[in-house]
Structure 1
Amino acid sequence: MQLIIEREKLIKPLQQISNLLNGRPIQPILGNILIEVNNKLLSLTVTDLEIDMVTHILLLKSDKQGSTTVPARKFLAICRNLPKESIINIFSKDNHIFINSGNSRFSLLTLPSTNFPNIDNWHIEIEFNLIQGSLKQLIAFTQFSMAYQDIRYYLNGIMFETSSEGIRAVATDGHRLATCFIKTHNKLPNYSVIVPRKGITELMRLLNGENTNLKIQIGSNNIRVYTNEIIFTSRLINASFPDYHQVLQKHLDKSLEVDCILLKQALSRAAILSNEQFMGIRLNISKNQLIIKANNPDNEESEEKLKVIYNSDKLEICLNVIYILDILNILKNGVVRLSFKDSMSSVRIQNIANENICYVIMPMRM
């Protein structure tokens, strides 16, 4: 295998895929990048057995075909530290790869490409195109509600559900739930998968929100996303996601409307004196008024009053203030609606301008 390439064409895609390889790999080959040259195409592949990333780079000329694997961190460090606009000559011989550029010479020990895990052996059940910005929106509006290292492993990710109407993303940690729905031009079959937290995190890094089409392929155990630069594949969580419909379809007959920014500012101030362990606050709601109260074991207290739109019975609800602030930070501005039934019911939070984005928080006992 041999190729000649400009440093700038190699460094960005190399950095993008190398981000996946953190920590100590469970197998030596998983710390390596698979390098393949086929005609005028250079392919770089990394995997941790849960996520795979592939990038293709067009070469100026057809170099010597072949493949090998090279230590990812060392290879990236060498290329990154070469002078800008360098021309890099790379070739493999026996069990080494040689990297030459200007007056610099490097040789790295390689492992056979035949030992690299096969990442293409899976069956595609559904394939469709989606605007990159839409996928980023689905993730951005829901990912903060994923569980973290929960023993109910099916909560440690986002569930994506396709239907004839569009695509819905849902995440929950058992205390709060986030869902975002977008309509699609093409009717899709009914299908649902759970993408694990790490897959969501890595995929989000690749999405820049451009108005470009992504090709998405889904199978029973994998999801693959083709961006302009990277082919991303993640294993799926093989489990059933909780029935979120039961939460969203509950009849909540009381609602309060308030400016998102004013509510966020008031909650942020009140939270300063809340219990640092439980982060609970009380919402005392009466006709067109919301009083936010917080206290802590040191008998310190805070109180905020806000004018709101509310015309139902008085009630008091206790909620985790961090959960509310997480939602308001995502919604950013506009008028938000809080819907509930009584002091012990869940609270639904939506921006009245876009009801395709919905959040539910369970109450606290204080």
Structure 2
Amino acid sequence: MKVTVERAQLLKSLGHVHRVVERRNTIPILGNVLVRAENARLSLRATDLDLEVTETLAAETATAGSTTVPAHMFYDIVRKLPDGSQIVLESDGERAVLAIRAGRSKFTLQTLPESDFPDLAAGEMTHAFAVPAKDIKSLIDRTQFAISTEETRYYLNGIYLHAGGTAKQPTLRAVATDGHRLAQVDLPQPSGAADMPGVIVPRKTVGEVQRLIEDNDSEIRIELSQGKIRFTLGQVVLTSKLIDGTFPDYGRVIPQNNDKELVVDKADFAAAVDRVSTISSERGRAVKLALSPGKLVLSVTNPDSGSATEELEVEYAADALDIGFNSRYLLDIAAQVEGEVAVLRLADPGSPTLIQDRDNKNALYVLMPMRV
């Protein structure tokens, strides 16, 4: 194999691909990236057996061929080469090395044969649809914070993606929960998604898709089956196994009859929660909301350091109510409310609270209270 490629292009592609590779591997081939040159294209592929990313870029192919090299070392070498340089990659099958040349710099890396490299992308995908990349990024951004990190409840370690909504307004819905809070966001349902199976996309995959999209305005093609999901964005293809488990019936925890409505300016509310929570302990993080008509008093008491209170004018006309929440969780949800006004629907100090943007009903958040 002999191929010439522009450094900036190679660095960008390696940046996408090498992140999948775990730094510590008991299986040597999983520490490598597969490099294949053919038909004026260079493709790079990496996997951790659960997730696989392939990216293709333009290159001058003198001799076709393929090999695998240590991913992180390859990325570091390309990163440190001068801007604007042309990089020549040349493999010698007999000596099992890849030579990397740019200007006066030359490196040789030990290689492993391509035949050892696993292929995750094989298999039939049963459903396919396309969505603007920015919509999928919004879906992820607004639900990702609620993904559980508790490994024992592995079926909560991802985003549940499924067909939702009503017959009149079908949606593509993403849901995430860690048992303390829940995020649900809907998009208009794309053509081809109506009878898709409900799938749980793992946390690591969600993070990689988010980074791949960045500020991309094009469409992302999504293909899925019961066991795998594939995202195609331009020249990048990301294939992932799905979490093999049953997502809980989340509809049962979304309150339907919360009759106490609190309307707040989101920015003022978040700033006040942030200020009073400065006093809270790392472990507790509880903030108390004391509600009375037209008024909200936020307070935190920490026996080790002191107390804090702040008063806000709000729209509230129901009975007086005292309720406590984890301040970090409140701030996480406030950050996802896109409009200027948030609506909290409450029932009593022991029941979950429903939080929504007043002007945009395609997202809802549920937060469990704390004792204060």
TM class, shorter-length: over 0.9
Q: 1:265 offset after TM fit, Å?
A: 1.2
Distance in structure 1 (CA, Å) of the matches to 2:264 and 2:121: 51
Given that 1:275 and 1:295 are in contact with CA atoms closer than 8 Å, whether structure 2 keeps it comes out as no
In 2, distance between residues paired with 1:258 and 1:9?
47
Cα deviation digits, residues 215-267 of structure 1 (max 9, x gap) = 11111111111112421112110101111111225321111101001101111
Alpha-carbon distance, 1:187 to partner: 5.5
Partner SS state of residue 325, structure 2:
strand
The answer to whether the 8 A contact 2:255-2:352 is kept is: no
Is residue 292 from structure 1 mapped to residue 298 from structure 2 by the alignment? yes
Matched with 1:138 is 139
SS of structure 2 residue aligned to 1:100: strand
Tell me whether 268-277 or 338-347 shows the greater mean CA deviation. 268-277
Matched letter for residue 217 of structure 1: E
1:185 shift after superposition: 4.5
CA 1:274–1:89: 2 relative to 1, 3 Å: closer
User: Which position in structure 1 is the counterpart of 2:225?
Assistant: 219
Deviates more, 1:116-125 or 1:257-266: 116-125
Q: Aligned pair in 2 of structure 1 residues 216, 314: CA closer, same or farther (>3 Å)?
A: same
SS at structure 2 position matched to 1:215: strand
Indicate if the aligned counterparts of 1:275 and 1:297 stay in contact, CA closer than 8 A: no
Cα deviation 1:94-119 (Å, max 9, x = unaligned): 21112223222222111000000012
| Amino acid corresponding to residue 82 of structure 2 in structure 1 | P
Name 2:83's counterpart in structure 1: 84
* Contact 1:346–1:363, Cα closer than 8 Å, also in 2: yes
The answer for the alignment partner of 1:24 in structure 2 is: 24
1:65 partnered with 2:71: no
The residue that corresponds to 1:239 in the other structure is 245
Instruction: Return the TM-score normalized by structure 2.
Output: 0.94
Letter in 2 for 1:212: S
Aligned letter for 1:59?
Answer: A
How many Å separate the matches in 2 of 1:59 and 1:263?
53
Q: What's 1:43 paired with?
A: 43
Aligned-partner Cα distance in 1 for 2:265–2:350: 24
Pairing 1:317-336 to 2, within 5 Å after superposition: 317-331=323-337, 333-336=339-342
CA RMSD of aligned residues (A): 1.6
1:13 counterpart residue number: 13
Q: Give the match's secondary structure for 1:154.
A: helix
Q: For residues 333-355 of structure 1, what are the alpha-carbon distances to aligned partners after superposition, in whole Å with 9 as ceiling and x for unaligned?
A: 51100001122111111111111
* 3-state secondary structure, aligned to 2:11: helix
Q: 8 Å contact 2:286–2:325 — kept in the other structure?
A: yes
Count of paired positions: 365
Q: Is the 8 A contact 1:159 1:241 kept in 2?
A: yes
Question: Is the partner of 2:198 in helix, strand or coil?
Answer: strand
2:315 counterpart of 1:314: no
Could you tell me whether the CA contact under 8 Å between 2:129 and 2:192 is conserved in 1?
no
8 Å Cα contact 1:261/1:332 also seen in 2: no
Distance 1:54 1:171 in 2: 27
2-structure distance, mates of 1:33, 1:205: 19
What is the CA distance between 1:124 and its match in structure 2?
0.6
Q: Give the superposition deviation at 1:154.
A: 0.7
Choose 83-92 or 132-141, whichever is displaced more.
83-92
Q: Is residue 168 of structure 1 aligned with residue 173 of structure 2?
A: yes
CA distance in 1, matches of 2:26, 2:133: 33
| Distance across 2 between alignment mates of 1:103 and 1:272 | 55
Structure 1 residue matching 2:152: 3-state secondary structure = coil
The question of whether the paired residues in 2 share the 8 Å contact of 1:35 and 1:43 is answered with yes
**Contact persistence 1:284–1:317 (CA under 8 A):** yes
The whole-number CA distance in structure 2 between the counterparts of 1:258 and 1:90 is 59
Partner of 2:274: 268
Task: Please report how far the alpha carbon of residue 298 of structure 1 lies from its aligned counterpart in structure 2 after TM superposition.
Answer: 2.8
Counterpart of 2:57, as a letter, is: I
Sort the Cα spacing of 1:187 and 1:42 in 2 relative to 1 into closer, same or farther, 3 A.
Answer: closer
Aligned residue number for residue 157 of structure 2: 156
Tell me, in whole angstroms, the C-alpha distance in 2 between the residues paired with 1:49 and 1:187. 28
Q: In structure 2, do the counterparts of structure 1 residues 249 and 300 end up closer, same or farther at CA, with 3 Å as the change threshold? A: closer
8 Å Cα contact 2:40-2:59 kept in structure 1: yes
Aligned-partner SS, 1:355: coil
Unaligned runs of 5+ in 2: none
Give how far 1:186 is off.
2.2
Given that residues 136 and 209 in structure 1 are in contact (C-alpha distance below 8 angstroms), is that contact kept between their aligned partners in structure 2?
no
Report the CA distance shift for 1:24/1:55 in structure 2 as closer, same or farther (over 3 A): same
TM-score by length of 1: 0.95
